[in-house]
Structure 1
Amino acid sequence: MTADETPYGELVARLDLPTKVRLLTGATMFTLAGEPRIGLEPMAFSDGPTGVRGLTFTGGEAVALFPNATLLASAWDEDAAQEVGGIVADEALRQHIHVVLGPTVNLHRSPLGGRLFEAYSEDPLLTGRIAAGYVRGLQARGVGACPKHLVANEAETQRHTVDDRLGERVLRELYLLPFELAHEAHPWTLMAAYNLVDGVPATEQHHVVEDVVKGEWGWDGLLMSDWFATTSTAASANGGLDLVMPGPDGPWGDALVAAVEAGEVGEEVVDEHLVRLLRLADRVGALGTPRTWPSDVEQPDSPVRREQLTRLAAAGMTVLTNDGTLPLAEGATVALVGRPALDTVTMGGGSAQVNPPYSVDIADGLSAVLGDRLTVVDGVPVRARAVPASRDVTHPGTGEPGVQVVVEDSYGRVLDDRHLPVAQLMVGFDDDYGDDVALVRFRARTSLTGDVVVGALGLGRWEVTAGGTTTTDELAALGDDPGEGVLNAPTTTTTVTLPEGGALVEAVSRPPSGSVGVSGARLLGLVLEPAPRSSDEVLAEAARAAAAADVAVVVVGLTPEQETEAMDKTTLALPGEQDAMVRAVAAAARRTVVVVNAATPVLMPWQGDVDAVLVAGLPGQEGGHAVAAVLTGAQEPTGRLVTSYPAADGASPAWSVTPVDGVLEYTEGTFVGYRGYDAGRAPAPLFWFGHGLGYATWAYGAASARREGADGGWRVSVEVTNTGGRRSREVVQAYLRPAEADQPVRLVGWTAVVLDPGASARVEVACDERLWRRWDEAAGRWARLADGGELLLARGLGDVRARIALG
C-alpha cells in the first residue's frame, strides 16, 4: 500500500515520538520538513495578503502585487474574490508554494488599526463572504488557504501580549462569525493570533479551537501559529494548536517530547495534530506521489495579469462625492498635484510587502491617457521617515536601475553580491548567511544633483558616504516589539550637496555594538531622495498649475508609516500638510477632484471645498492605470465603502487601541462601526459603510419580503431603475434592525445588478439566517432574535430607500 492509499493514522503509527514532534514545527522560516518513510514531502508557505512573496522577506523574485484587501472587498463581489483567489493560486504554483497565508478576516473594530488594510471590512457578513470566495478560488487550484488571525486580533499595539476582553456573546456574534462564514469554503488551514482572548493566549484557546472550530463547526484542517506567537508547550499542544511556526527552534521540539513522557500531553494529542498535518499535505500534493507544478502559469507582468489587476483595482474604487465633475470631460486639461501622484503607495507595510515587477504611479497612468493635456506638480512631503531608495539609482557596475548589495562575514569573505531594485535587504531572518554577518554594503550611482537627503535604515552601526561627505551613526530599536524593530526600522539621514552628473553613494552597516554577527533579524536599507522644498513654494506652484487647468486632481493619502503591521495609527488626519495643499488647490481651481490613496478612513476637513472625492485604496502594481481608467470614465468605480468614515478623531463607536495594564476592553460590544453609529453611540459618520455613488443614479420602487417556508430565511425583493446616463452597477444592501434594543442593526445580505440607462430590474436579496441569532450566555447556546423589527433596503445606512416591518 502506498502513502497515497494509507490512512493518515497508519502513517502516524510508523513514526516514533521525536519524529512526530519534529514534523509539527517548521523546518525553516517558511517551510516544513518532509519524512521519506511515509512519503511526506517538504511543504512551503508564503505570506499572501497582497501578493505571494515567496520564501524570502526581501530580495525575492518579482511577483504580482494585488490591490489591497479593502479595495478588493469594496467591489462587494464574491465572484471577483474567487477570481483573485485563482490568480493568487497561480502565483503560488509558479513558485512551488503549497499554502498561502491569507486571507485576513479580522474586523475593522477601530479605524486606528494599523493592519486594517489587510482585512476586508468592519462587517462580519461582508468579510466572511468575500473571504469564502477567495478561499474557493485559491483551493480550487490545489493551493491551501489560511484565514487569519484567530481571533479578535484587530489592532497592533502590544500585539504579542495584549489581552482582548470581549466575552462569549461578542466573540460568538461578531468576531468568530467571519471565520464561520469562511468555513463554508472549507479552508485547509487557519492561523492563530498573537493576542490573548479573555485571558487565554490565542495559541492555547482550547474553547475556541477544540470546542467551537474543530468541534461545533467540524473543521478538519490544520491550525498553525502566527510566527513566533507560541510561548508554551503543553498548554498550546493541549489547546488545539497543530503546528508551531517558524522553525527549526520553538517551544515544542524536545520540550514537547518531554511533556508527553511526563504525562502532561497525551501522545494521542500529538497524533491528532500530525493527522491534520498529513491531511493538509495530501490536499496540497505533498503526501504520496509528489504533485506536478505547472509550467504555463501567467507571469506577473503578462498582458493577462495587467488587465486583471487594472480591472479589479478600478472596480473597488469608491466615489464618495461628485457634482458631475467625474468622469473628466473629454478634452479637458488637467493639473495633477500631490506626492502620492508621483510616488503612489500601492501596498501596505509589513508582511504584506512584495517585490512587484513594476508599479504604475498615478502620474504615469494618467499621462498615458491625457498626454500633453496633463500637467504634473509634486506636492508636500507625506512621509515623516525615510524609505529605501528605489528611484534615481543605478547599479554602479552594470548601470541597471537599482543598487548593488554586498554581504561579508567577519573574515571579509563575500557571502552575497547581488543587484536589487529596491535598496533594502533582510538579514538574520530567512537567509542562508548564517550567524556571522559582519558587514552589509549598499552601493549605487545616482543622477540626483544639488541638495539630496542620504542615509540608512535598520539596526546597527552605519557609515554613509555621498558627494565627499561621510557620516556615521548607530541605530537602536524604536520600541520593545521585535516585529516593530524589523518592520518599522529606525532611520538616520543627512542632507548633502551632490555635483552635476551625479555621484556614487555608499552605505555600510555593521552589527549593533556588543553583538557578534547578527543581533536578531534586521531590515537594512540605503536612503536617497531629493531634499524637500519649502511648503510655501510647493503650495504656490500647485495653485498656479490648478488655476491654469480646467480641472485639478489632487492626490492625497497615507503611507506605510500609518498602514502597516506592528504599529497602529494615532490619528485619522492626513500626514504632513496635505490638507493645506487641498485647500490651496481648491481655492485656485475651477473644479477640484481629490483622489485618496489610502486603504482606511481619513479625515476630510476640505470635503465641502471640492467637487468630487474618489477613494483609490492601495491599488497594486497597476494602480496608476486603474485610477486613470476611473477618472476618465473608461471603467466605472463600482466600490461601496467597507468601513464607515468617522467625522473626527475619536468619533467612532470603538476608538482606542491602547491597552490599559495590558488589557484592551471591547466595551462597545457588538456595536462596531455602522452598528454603533446607527445606535447613536458616536456622532454620525462622514460617510456610512456601504456608501458609494458610482457613475449613475438609481431609483428604488416598492419593496417586499417573504420567508422561505416556516423555518426558512427571509428574501427581500425590490425593483431598481438606472436613472443615470450610462451603464452602471448597483449594490442593493439589506439590513436587519432587530426589535431587541440590545441588538444592533446588521447587514444581512446584498445583491448586485448591472443595468443600462433607463432599464429596470427586480432584485432579490437572500438574507443570511445566521444574522437572526443571538448568543444566550446563560444557556450556552444560540437563540433566535425576538420576532419583529424591520428590514431596510439601502445604499448604506445614510441612504435608506425602503423599510419593511417584520411581523
Structure 2
Amino acid sequence: MSPSGKGNEESFITTTLSQLTIEEKVSFLSGSSFVAATGVPRLDIPAINLVDSVNGVKGTSHINGTPTLCFPSTTCLGSTWNPSLIKEMGTELAIQAKYKNASVILGPTVNIHRDPRGGRNFECFSEDPLLTGRLAAALINGIQEGGVAACPKHFVGNESETKRRFYRVEAEKRTMREIYLAAFQHLLRESTPWALMTAYNKVEGVYCSENPIIRNVLRDEWGFEGCVMSDWFGTRSGVPALNAGLDLEMPGPSVFRGMQLVEEVKQGKMREEIIDERVRRVLGLIHKTSASHSKGEERSVVDEKANLLARRVASEGIVLLKNEDSVLPLKFDGGMKVAVIGSAATDPPIGGGGSAKVPPQYVQAPFDCITSAHPDPSLLSYSLGCKAHCTVPGIPLELLSARNDQRGIDVRYFVNGKDDPVLEEFLPSAQVAMLGFLKPPLTQETFSHFTVSTTITPTSAGNHTLAVQATGSFQLFVNDKLILRDDMQPPPSVEDFLFVPEALERKVSVPMEAHKPYLLKAVVQAYVPLEETGEPRVHAAKFCFQEEYSEPVLRSEAVEVASSADISVIFAGRNAEMESEGFDLTSIKLPSNQEQLIVDVAKASKKTVLVLYGGNPIDVSAYKDLVDAILFTHFPGQEGGQAIVDVLTGKICPSGRLATSWPMKLEDVPTFGHFPAERKCDGEWEIGYAEGLRVGYRAEADGYAPRYRFGFGLSYTRFQYSSLTCATSADGVLLLEVRVENVGAVAGSDVVQVYISEVKSVVWRPREELKGFEKVWLESGETKTVRIEIGKRLAFSWWDDRQGGECWRAEPGEFKVRIGELSASFMLEEGFSWWGL
C-alpha cells in the first residue's frame, strides 16, 4: 500500500514490512543523500526530504538554495512568550516546507541557553526549560497539523559548539532532569513530534546516538513513539546504536549500516526483530507525512499574509530594555531631524549562521522603513559608522565580469593526466562549491583541480584586500601575476566550510586603481581530507574583496552627522559571522569598533536610541548610561526592518520579554569558569556542568545579579496587578487568578509570569522557578482576569537522585506563589512522588 493511499498507519507498516527484503529493510535505516531518507520505488514509497529549519525552510540545497520566507531567530520566538502566535508560525512553516518538497523540518532546537557564549543559542528559545518546552510544543503542533513532521533537537546536552562532536557532558542527574531533559519533557507533554534528533556529544560517557537514555527515558519512561534520528554524521556505531534505539542514520549514504548490517543480520549478529522495530518507526514517519510527498520543482511564494505573520512574530519578540524620559516612541512631527547610523540600518543581520541560515525572499532595510515613516525624508541623514565584517566579504556581483560579459565567474575542471578541462561553466556568483557530489564527468579518483577566473573593477583607488576562501591548496593570480598561495594544511573540515569561513580565508593587500579591470584567477586543488570520517568531501572556492577604508574617518563622519540631528538611531550588534553553528563566542562585548562608534555618537547626540541585533546577551556596560533607549531585536528575519520601525514609532507597543538573563559582565555568569569544553588528561574533551541547577535566573539565590532579569521588558504603557487568588481543584491542579489592568495611555500586551518557591526545602532549590505564564492583550483602561492552571507535579516537585531510587518528589510544606509584585502562600499538606512524563 502506498503511504498516500487509504488505510491507517499500522496496516501500512505491517503490509510494507511483509513485502520488504532484508536489504530493503536495512536501506530504510539510513539516508540516501545529504537531505533525503530512503524509499522503495517498487512499492511506491518515496525518499522523503529532511531539511532545515524553523527560522525558514531552506530546501534541499545548502548552497545557493531557493529563497524562502525567513522568520525571526528562535531567541526572538522565545521572547514573544506567546504559544498561540508560535503555533501560527508553525502552520505557515508547513506550507513553506511543501513549497520545498520537504516532509521533515529539522527543528525546533530545544537546548538551553546555559552560557551567553553558546554559538548556537540564537537557535534556541531560552535559559528556562518550561518556556522552551511550551513554545517548542506550540511550534511542533502547528507544523504537524499541516502534514509535515517536526524534529526537535538535540537530545541531549548540546549547549556548546566547541568540539561538539566529541565532548562529554559531566552533570549531576538532578541537573540533567530539571534543566536539560526537562525542556524535552515539557514539549512532549503538549505535543507529539513525529521525529527527534540526537545530539553529537556524550552523556555519562556514551555518545547520544547510542546512549541507553533513548530507550530508558525517551521511549520507556516518556512513551515517545516517533522516529529517532542522528544529527548529521552523528551516528557513531552500528549494533550499539541500533540496540539503543536509533532508528535513522543521517545523512546518506550509510557509514555504519548498509550492506555490513545486512551481513550481520544474515550471520546472526543482529536480530531481524530489532531491524523491524527500527524500520517501523521510519515507515511511521513516512506515512504521517504523506500529505507532503509531492516532488514538483522547489519554489518560493511571496505571500503577504505570511509576511505579516513574520512581522508580527518579530515585533512581539523585540524587547525594550531602556527608555529614559520616554524618548520612545519617536514622534516625527515638528521637523525632527534624525541621524541613522550603522551598517545594520542598510544591511541588517536577519539571522544567525550555520544550518539555520536561509536565503530570504527579500530583506527590509530599517533605513528604508524609517524613510517611509518620516513625513519629510529630507530630514533624515545616514552614516555607515564602521564595518561589521569578521571576514572579507564576497565580491559584489556588480564588480565582476566573466568571459561572456555577465556578472559572475568562469570555472574549469580538470582530471589527472589531462591538460585540457573536462568541464567548463559560468556561474552567476563569486563562489563555486560541490558538497557531497562531483559534477560529471568528474570522479573522486580522477578529479585533480579547478580554476576560477573573473575580471574585477574596483570603484576606488587604494590598497584593497583580496581574499580566497578555499578548501584545497591554491594559487591566486592578478593579471597573471602570482600574489598569494597556501597549502591549506591541515585541510579544513566540512564544518569549517559550512560554518567557519575564517578557517578557509587567506588574504592579501593589492594596490589597485579606480575603474580599472583586473583579471583574477585561482587554481585550486581537489580537497583531500586529513582522514576519512565518512563525511562528504567538499570542493569550493570563493573570491572576496574589500576596498580600502579608514575606521577613524567612518566614525568621524558618523559623529558629524549625529551632532547636527535632533536624535540619533544607532543600529549595531552581531551578525551571522559572529553567532553561528560551529563555534562559540569568546566575549559578550560587541567588537571594539562598534563600541567606540556607539560611545562617540552618543556623546555627540542630543538624544540616542540604540538598536541591537544578536541571539545572545550583550555587555552594554561601555555605553548603557550614554544612550537614552535600547531596543533588542534578536535576529528578526526578513520583515525585521519594518517590525523594528513599527516599535520605534509606536505603531506597535513593545511586548517582548527576555527569555534569557543578561549579565552585568561575562565573569558574572555561573558557567564562566567551565565553558566551553576542555581537553582532560585522558585525552577526552569534557564540559562540566559544575553550576548544576544554577542556570541563568536560578542562580539568583546565590547572589547572581543580572543587568536585565529573565522575563524583563519595558512597554509604552503600564499594567497593574490585583486580587491574586490561589486554590486547588479536586484533582490536585493549582488554580491561580489575577486581575490585570492596563493603566497606561495605549493598548498593549503583558506577560503574566507565575513563579513558585519552596519556603524550606530538604534540598537546595532555586529562589523561585517559572511554573506558568500567559500573554494578555489589553486596551487602555481595560481589565481582565487571567486564570492559569498548573499541575501539582510541575508546581512543586524536584528530581530526587538520592539513594533509594530516583524519582520526582514533593515534600509537604509551604510554598510561595509570585505574580509580578503580588505573592500568596500555599500549603502542600501531603508529599508525593512520581515517575514518567
> TM-score, normalised to structure 2's length?
0.89
More displaced 10-residue stretch of structure 1: 264-273 or 389-398: 389-398
2:671 corresponds to: 654
Indicate the residue corresponding to 1:727 in structure 2: 747
DSSP-derived class of the 2:17 partner: helix
The CA deviation string for residues 224-246 of structure 1, in whole angstroms up to 9 with x for no partner, is 10001112111111111000011
Number of the residue aligned with 1:629: 646
User: What's the counterpart of residue 363 of structure 1?
Assistant: 367
Cα deviation, 1:234-262, whole Å, max 9, x if unaligned, reads 11111110000111131111232233344
Aligned to 2:322: 321
Q: Structure 2 vs 1, CA of residues 396 and 294 (structure 1 numbering), >3 Å: closer, same or farther? A: closer
Counterpart selection for 2:433 from 407, 426, 433: 426
Which stretch has the larger CA shift, 522-531 or 320-329?
522-531
Q: Hey, what does 1:225 align to over in structure 2?
A: 230
- Count of aligned residue pairs for this structure pair: 789
Deviation at 1:51, TM superposition (A): 1.4
Counterpart mapping for 1:137-536 below 5 A: 137-183=142-188, 184-206=190-212, 208-285=213-290, 291-292=293-294, 299-323=300-324, 324-331=326-333, 332-370=336-374, 371-390=377-396, 392-393=398-399, 396=402, 403-404=408-409, 406=411, 408-410=413-415, 411-414=420-423, 416-420=425-429, 423-429=430-436, 432=439, 434-435=443-444, 436=447, 438-439=449-450, 441=452, 443=454, 445-446=456-457, 448-451=459-462, 452-464=464-476, 471-474=483-486, 476=488, 482-489=494-501, 490-501=504-515, 503=517, 506-511=520-525, 520-535=537-552
Tell me the alpha carbon deviations over residues 266-304 of structure 1, each in whole angstroms, 9 at most, x when there is no partner: 211111000011111111118xxx955799x99443433
State how far apart, in whole Å, the 1-side matches of 2:702 and 2:397 are: 48
Q: 3-state SS of the aligned residue for 1:788?
A: strand
* AA in 2 matched with 1:327: P
Residue in 2 aligned with 1:737? 757
SS at match of 1:43: coil
Change (3 A) 1:143 1:617: same
Distance 1:620 1:704, change over 3 A: same
* Cα offset, 1:333, TM superposition: 1.7
* Structure 2: distance between partners of 1:430 and 1:695: 54
Q: Give the secondary-structure state (helix, strand or coil) at the position aligned to 2:813.
A: coil
**Bigger mean CA deviation after superposition, 248-257 or 220-229:** 248-257
Matched with 2:715 is 694
Structure 2's unaligned 5+ residue stretches are 828-837
Q: Which amino acid aligns with 1:600?
A: N
Q: Deviations over 1:110-136 (max 9, x none)?
A: 111000011111111111111111111
- Equivalent residue in structure 2 for 1:19, among 12, 16, 24: 24
How much has 1:493 moved relative to structure 2? 2.2
Tell me whether 1:775 sits opposite 2:799 in the alignment: yes
| Structure 2 residue 66 is matched with structure 1 residue 61 | yes
- Describe the superposition over 1:694-722 as per-residue Cα deviations: whole angstroms up to 9, x where unpaired: 2212222232212122x422232222222
Identity of aligned residues (%): 29
Query: Judging changes above 3 Å, is the alpha-carbon distance between structure 1 residues 786 and 679 closer, same or farther for their aligned structure 2 residues?
Result: farther
Taking the TM superposition and a 5 Å limit, the aligned residue runs for 1:35-184 are 35-183=40-188, 184=190
Deviation, structure 1 residue 550: 0.9
Deviations 1:412-466, CA, capped at 9 Å, x for gaps: 132653324xx33432336655533721526365563223332221322344456
Cα 1:660/1:793, change in 2 over 3 Å: farther
Q: CA deviation at 1:691?
A: 0.5
CA offsets 1:183-216 (integer angstroms, 9 cap, x no match) = 232111100110001111000112x211221222
Partner of 2:701: 679
- Deviations along 1:356-415, one digit per CA (max 9) or x if unpaired, are 232223223323333222211112233332233347545647877x63463524251326
Structure 2 vs 1, CA of residues 57 and 21 (structure 1 numbering), >3 Å: closer, same or farther? same
Q: Residues of 2 paired with 1:398 and 1:707: CA distance?
A: 77
Distance in 2 between residues matched to 1:319 and 1:766, nearest whole Å: 29
Q: Give me the whole-angstrom Cα distance separating, in 2, the residues matched to 1:313 and 1:437.
A: 47
Secondary structure in 1 aligned to 2:314? helix
Higher deviation after alignment, 659-668 or 434-443: 434-443
| 1:572 paired to 2:588 | yes
Q: Does 1:706 align with 2:727?
A: yes
Alpha-carbon spacing, 1:307–1:74, altered in 2? closer, same or farther (3 Å): same
Aligned partner of 1:748 in structure 2 is 771
Q: Give, as a single letter, the amino acid of the residue that structure 1 aligns with 2:525.
A: P
Contact 2:118 2:585 in 1 (8 A): yes
- Secondary structure class of the residue paired with 2:625: helix
Q: CA deviation at 1:737?
A: 1.4
Contact 1:339 1:380 in 2 (8 A): yes
Q: Secondary structure at 1:340's aligned position in 2?
A: helix
Q: Is the 8 A contact 1:222 1:276 kept in 2?
A: yes
Instruction: Name the structure 2 match of 1:797.
Output: none
Contact 2:471 2:538 in 1 (8 A): no
Change in Cα spacing, 1:162 to 1:771, as seen in structure 2 (3 Å) is farther
What is the deviation of 1:750?
Answer: 0.7
CA distance in 2 between partners of 1:136 and 1:227 (Å): 24
Report the CA distance between 1:171 and its aligned residue.
1.9
Cα–Cα, structure 1 residues 545 and 456, in superposed 2: closer, same or farther, change >3 Å? same
Tell me, in whole angstroms, the C-alpha distance in 2 between the residues paired with 1:298 and 1:631.
34
- What corresponds to 2:832 in structure 1? none
1:705–1:714 contact (8 Å) kept in structure 2: yes
Kindly provide the amino acid, as one letter, of the partner of residue 611 in structure 1. Answer: D
1:764 aligns with 2:787: yes
Q: Does the C-alpha gap of structure 1 residues 298 and 14 become closer, same or farther in structure 2, counting only changes over 3 Å?
A: closer
TM-score normalized by structure 1?
0.92
SS in 2 for 1:542: helix
Give the RMSD, CA atoms, in angstroms. 2.7
Query: What is the rounded CA distance, in whole Å, between the counterparts of 2:210 and 2:469 in structure 1?
Result: 36
- Kindly state the Cα deviation for residue 139 of structure 1 after the two structures are TM-superposed: 0.9
CA-to-aligned-CA distance 1:499-521 (integer Å, 9 cap, x gap): 44363563535126878999922
- Tell whether the 8 Å contact from 2:458 to 2:512 is kept in structure 1 after alignment: no
Assess if the C-alpha contact under 8 Å between 2:458 and 2:547 holds in 1.
no
Code of the residue aligned with 2:524 in structure 1: it is R
User: 1: CA distance between counterparts of 2:660 and 2:495?
Assistant: 27
Q: Note the C-alpha offset of 1:317.
A: 0.7
Q: Give the aligned partner of residue 559 of structure 2.
A: 543
Task: Give the direction of change, closer, same or farther, for the CA distance of 1:442–1:575 in structure 2 (3 Å limit).
Answer: farther
Rate the CA distance shift 1:82–1:2 in 2: closer, same or farther, 3 A.
closer
- 1:523–1:480 distance in 2 versus 1, CA, 3 Å: closer
Distance 2:776 2:605 in 1: 36
Mean Cα deviation higher: 356-365 or 644-653: 356-365
- Distance (Å, rounded) in 2 between the aligned partners of 1:397 and 1:707: 77
Match for residue 610 of structure 2 among 581, 594, 605:
594
Q: Deviations over 1:628-660 (max 9, x none)?
A: 222122223321111111111121122322234
